[in-house]
């Protein structure tokens, strides 16, 4: 997932003659100029800028983006290279980005991505519609104290970080190699982990897993549905533990 967000940054480039115009207050994040309008707070702009650094959108190349707001909808406006507004693949990446930005930074508020010309005039707007797209070849992996979390575009990078940090906090991770797959299906978070065959039908172990699923739901994901799947070495599901 993160690599697709990095690809998004390749669309953007620096705005010419920006000093001659008023596009809002300017902040710098690496070599990325981030302008924000009066209806965006400085804290919001800083949070967005730090998020762009986290996902490597700011990668040392000069770029210009603007954060504005139309009613309750945030507009992430970026100057793009000619022709990218007609590329369907990049439109899907842009759509994934605004869902992640909404969930990870803006508390679920609606977000639009505006592909703009050199005067920050909109060429094409990408809007949230339904659920976030899951892109092919979109599996990534992050490691938390020896535990590898493999995930796809159904969950955001921020959600993976929150889960990984909670696994460290609760002692699930202990420095040894463990592997899990983390996805979301029909509104339910799915946590797949490899366990020995003896545990697949162990009622006591299943009860512990059920309790842990409930804790993750409440303390990490605001009470959202959460299930733990017990799997063999090939991640074939052998038991489903639901809250």
pLDDT, the chain, mean: 85
Domain borders along the chain are 2-127, 140-242
The pLDDT value given to residue 120 = 83
> What distance in Å separates the CA atoms of residue 92 and residue 243, rounded to the nearest whole number?
33
- Residue 17's pLDDT band, with cuts at 50, 70 and 90, is very low
DSSP-derived 3-state class of residue 123: strand
Please, is 105 exposed, middle or buried when counting C-beta atoms within 10 Å of its C-beta (0-12, 13-18, 19+)?
buried
Closest CA to 11 of 108, 126, 153: 126
The CB density around residue 212, as the number of other CB atoms within 10 Å, is: 17
Q: What mean pLDDT do residues 189-210 have? A: 93
Q: Which two tokens stand for residue 185?
A: 């299906």
**pTM of the predicted protein model:** 0.57
Q: How confident is the model at residue 216 (pLDDT cuts 50, 70, 90)?
A: very high
* Rounded-to-integer distance, Cα 202 and Cα 205, Å: 5
Euclidean distance between CA atoms 216 and 166, whole angstroms: 8
Cβ atoms of 243 and 209 within 8 Å: the answer is: no
The CA distance from 123 to 217, in Å, is 41
DSSP code, position 108? T
Q: Which two tokens stand for residue 37?
A: 């309008």
Mean pLDDT of all residues in 208-226 = 96
Mean pLDDT throughout 35-49?
Answer: 96
Give CA–CA dist 140/4, Å, rounded. 10
Residue 107 near residue 43 (C-beta atoms within 8 A): no
Predicted pLDDT of residue 85: 74
Q: At a CB cut-off of 8 Å and minimum separation 6, what does 44 contact?
A: 36, 67, 106
How far, in Å, CA of 142 to CA of 54, rounded?
A: 13
Closest by CA position to 1, among listed 112, 96, 98, 127: 96
For 134-156, how does the pLDDT look when each residue is reduced to its tens digit (9 = 90+)? Answer: 554 457 889 999 999 989 888 98
- Write the DSSP symbol of residue 133: P
């Amino acid at each position: 997932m993160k690599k697709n967000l990095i690809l998004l940054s390749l669309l953007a480039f620096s705005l010419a003659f920006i000093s001659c115009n008023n596009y809002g207050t300017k902040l710098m994040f690496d070599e990325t100029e981030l302008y924000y309008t009066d209806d965006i707070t400085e804290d919001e702009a800083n949070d967005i800028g730090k998020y762009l650094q986290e996902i490597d959108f700011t990668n040392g190349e000069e770029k210009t983006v603007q954060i504005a707001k139309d009613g309750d909808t945030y507009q992430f406006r970026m100057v793009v290279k000619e022709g990218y507004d007609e590329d369907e693949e990049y439109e899907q990446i842009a759509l994934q980005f605004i869902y992640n930005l909404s969930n990870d930074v803006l508390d679920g508020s609606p977000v639009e991505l505006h592909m703009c010309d050199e005067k920050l005039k909109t060429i094409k707007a990408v809007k949230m519609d339904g659920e976030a797209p899951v892109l092919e070849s979109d599996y990534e992996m992050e490691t938390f104290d020896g535990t590898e979390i493999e995930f796809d575009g159904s969950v955001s990078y921020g959600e993976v970080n929150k889960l990984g940090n909670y696994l460290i906090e609760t002692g699930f991770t202990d420095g040894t190699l463990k592997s899990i797959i983390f996805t979301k299906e029909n509104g339910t978070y799915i946590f797949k982990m490899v366990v020995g065959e003896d545990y697949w039908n162990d009622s006591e172990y299943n009860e512990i897993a059920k309790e842990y699923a409930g804790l993750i739901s409440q303390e990490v994901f605001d009470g959202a549905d959460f299930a733990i799947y017990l799997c063999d070495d090939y991640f074939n599901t052998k038991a489903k533990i639901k809250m």
